[in-house]
C-alpha cells in the first residue's frame, strides 16, 4: 500500500509517536534532572486522552528504568563515543525505544517507526537516523547482557553485599523484574472468593495465597479501571507484605488506633475494612498526602470512620490529647530499598546521607510515639526497606533505651527472622521487601 501524503507533501506522523515522546520527556526528567518518576507520571498521564496511551507511557518508563544498566551497556558498545550532556534527551528516547523491544516486546516495526517520529517531535530530526539505526540493530542482534547490579549505586551495593551476601543476586534480580499485582478485597463489600469469581467472569486470572485472608495475586497486571468494582471500592491494590500489617497489629474491637504516617491510606483502610468499630486516627505531616488518604477512604466508603489530622508524628504535644492508644502503626519514612521494582528511580536519587537522616527521624518518631501507647498496647514498626540500620538495628537500639518495651515475634509467615523483627527481601513469596516488628508496652 502506498504511503498517504499530507497536503504539504510529507508523510503523516507515525501512529503512537506522541506517547513515545512523552515517555522520553519523563525519562529525561527522571534520569537527568533528579525528578520523581511518580510525580512526573502524575503530571503527564492526564494529558493523554486514551487510557491505552497512558498505560503504554507508564510501561515504557518503568521498563526503561528497571533495565537502565543494560541499555547504557548497549549505547556504550554501539556508539563511537559517549553521548554529550546536550544529548541527554536522546539517551532517554533511546532507552524508551529499547524498552519497547525488550522487555515489552511490542511489534518491532511500529515501535521503531513511532520512536523515530518521536525524535522529530522532540526537536531532534537531525538524530532520527541514529535512533532508527540503533533500534534496528537492537531488533536484529538483541540487546547485550549487562550486570543489573551496575544500576545500583556503589554505597548501596556494598551495604547489600555486607548485610545480605547470600541474597544479593536474588535481591538485584527481583528488583529489576516487574512486580505482580496484588489486590486486597474489601470485606465490607464481599469476601475474597466472591471477588475472585468476578475476576474470572471478567477474564482475569487470580490466585488466592494462603495466610492472607483478603489477598488475591493476578497472573498478569491490568489497569485498575479493568478491575470489577474498583471505582465503587470493592477492591484495592496493595502488596501482600503490606497486607500482613493488619494481622500483626491486630487491634481489639473498638480499640483506639493511631496510623502515625498514614499516606496513602492503604493500611488504615485495611484495618477499618476488617473492623468498623475501631476508633482510628490517621496522621500525616503533609496536607496533600493526607488528601490522598481521604480519597482512599472515600472510595472505599470509609471516610466517616476515621479521624484525619495534618500533624507531625514526632511532635505529639501539637496534636495528642492525652488519651492513650491501644495500638499504633508506625509505617516509618524509609529508604524504599525494598520496593525498587515499584520505584526504580530510588536507585538514581537515594544517597547514603539520606539513610542517615532517615534513621535519625525513625528513632525520633519511635521515641515520641511510645508514651502515647497505653500499657499493654502494641506498636508495629514497619518499613519497606531492606537495610538493617533502618530495621533490625533500629528496633534493637529502641529496645535498649526503652525498659517497658518487649518484642513479640509474629512468626515465620511474616518473613525471615532478623534480630527483633521479621524481614522480607524483594521477591520473597512474590512480595515486596518489607520489615516489621511487634512491640508490646508492659507495665
Q: Which residues are catalytic?
A: 384
* C-alpha–C-alpha distance, residues 195 and 191, integer Å: 6
Sign of CA dihedral 199, 242, 291, 66: negative
Q: Which cell numbers in the block locate residue 292? A: 490522598
- Strands 325-331 and 256-259, by their bridges, are parallel
- Round to whole Å and give the CA distance between 142 and 98: 10
Q: What are phi and psi of 61, to 5 degrees?
A: -65, -45
**Which residue, chain included where needed, has cell 474498583?**
230
Dist. CA 299–CA 436, nearest whole Å: 28
Q: Which three cell numbers stand for residue 59?
A: 510501561
Q: What is the DSSP string of 304-331?
A: GGEEEEE--TT-GGGT--SPPEEEEEEE
Report how far residue 311's alpha carbon sits from residue 241's, in angstroms, rounded to the nearest whole number.
26
What pairs with residue 268 in β-bridges? none
First to last CA, the chain: 83
Task: Tell me how crowded residue 76 is: count the other CB atoms within 10 A of its CB.
Answer: 13
Output the DSSP codes for 124-172: -GGGHHHHHHHHHHHHHH-PPP--GGGGS-HHHHHHHHHH-TTTHHHHH
Burial of 202 (0-12, 13-18, 19+ CB in 10 A): exposed
For residues 440 and 408, is the Cβ–Cβ distance under 8 A?
Answer: yes
Give the closest residue to 174 by CA, choosing from 396, 362, 428: 428
The C-alpha cell at 54 is 497512558
Cell numbers placing 202? 471478567
Name the region of 315 (left: φ>0; alpha: ψ -120 to 50; beta: rest): beta
Within 33-104, residue ranges assigned H as helices are 37-44, 51-66, 68-78, 88-101
Amino acid at each position: 500500500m502506498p504511503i498517504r501524503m499530507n497536503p504539504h507533501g510529507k508523510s503523516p506522523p507515525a501512529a503512537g509517536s506522541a506517547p513515545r515522546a512523552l515517555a522520553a520527556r519523563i525519562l529525561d526528567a527522571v534520569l537527568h534532572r533528579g525528578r520523581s518518576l511518580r510525580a512526573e507520571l502524575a503530571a503527564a498521564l492526564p494529558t493523554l486522552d486514551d487510557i491505552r496511551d497512558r498505560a503504554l507511557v507508564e510501561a515504557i518508563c518503568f521498563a526503561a528504568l528497571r533495565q537502565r544498566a543494560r541499555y547504557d551497556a548497549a549505547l556504550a558498545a554501539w556508539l563511537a563515543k559517549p553521548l554529550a550532556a546536550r544529548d541527554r534527551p536522546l539517551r532517554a528516547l533511546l532507552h524508551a525505544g529499547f524498552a519497547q523491544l525488550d522487555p515489552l516486546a511490542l511489534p518491532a516495526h511500529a515501535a521503531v517507526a513511532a520512536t523515530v517520529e518521536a525524535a522529530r517531535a522532540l526537536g531532534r530530526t537531525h538524530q532520527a537516523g541514529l535512533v532508527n539505526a540503533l533500534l534496528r540493530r537492537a531488533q536484529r542482534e538483541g540487546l547485550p547482557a549487562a550486570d543489573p547490579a551496575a544500576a545500583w549505586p556503589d554505597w548501596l551495593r556494598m551495604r547489600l553485599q555486607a548485610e545480605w551476601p547470600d541474597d544479593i543476586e536474588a535481591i538485584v534480580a527481583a528488583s529489576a523484574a516487574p512486580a505482580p499485582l496484588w489486590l486486597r478485597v474489601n470485606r465490607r463489600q464481599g469476601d475474597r472468593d466472591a471477588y475472585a469469581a468476578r475476576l474470572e467472569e471478567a477474564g482475569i486470572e487470580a490466585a488466592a495465597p494462603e495466610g492472607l485472608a483478603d489477598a488475591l495475586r493476578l497472573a498478569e497486571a491490568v489497569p485498575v479501571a479493568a478491575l470489577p468494582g474498583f471505582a465503587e471500592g470493592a477492591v484495592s491494590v496493595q502488596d501482600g507484605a503490606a497486607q500482613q500489617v493488619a494481622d500483626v497489629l491486630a487491634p481489639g474491637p473498638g480499640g483506639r488506633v493511631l496510623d502515625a504516617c498514614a499516606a496513602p491510606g492503604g493500611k488504615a483502610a485495611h484495618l477499618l475494612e476488617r473492623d468498623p468499630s475501631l476508633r482510628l486516627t490517621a496522621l500525616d505531616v503533609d496536607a496533600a498526602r493526607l488528601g490522598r488518604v481521604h480519597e482512599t477512604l472515600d472510595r472505599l466508603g470509609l471516610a466517616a470512620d476515621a479521624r484525619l489530622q495534618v500533624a507531625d508524628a514526632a511532635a505529639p504535644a501539637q496534636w495528642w490529647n492525652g488519651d492513650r492508644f491501644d495500638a499504633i502503626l508506625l509505617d516509618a519514612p524509609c529508604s524504599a530499598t525494598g520496593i525498587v521494582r515499584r520505584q526504580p528511580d530510588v536507585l538514581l536519587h537515594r544517597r547514603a546521607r539520606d539513610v542517615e537522616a532517615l534513621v535519625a527521624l525513625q528513632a525520633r518518631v519511635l521515641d515520641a510515639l511510645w508514651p502515647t501507647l497505653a500499657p499493654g498496647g502494641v506498636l508495629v514498626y514497619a518499613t519497606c526497606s531492606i537495610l538493617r540500620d533502618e530495621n533490625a538495628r533500629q528496633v534493637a537500639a529502641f529496645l535498649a533505651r526503652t525498659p517497658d518495651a518487649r518484642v513479640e515475634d509474629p512468626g515465620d509467615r511474616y518473613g525471615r527472622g532478623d534480630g527483633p523483627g521479621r524481614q522480607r527481601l524483594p521477591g520473597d513469596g512474590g512480595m515486596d521487601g518489607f520489615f516489621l516488628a511487634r512491640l508490646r508496652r508492659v507495665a
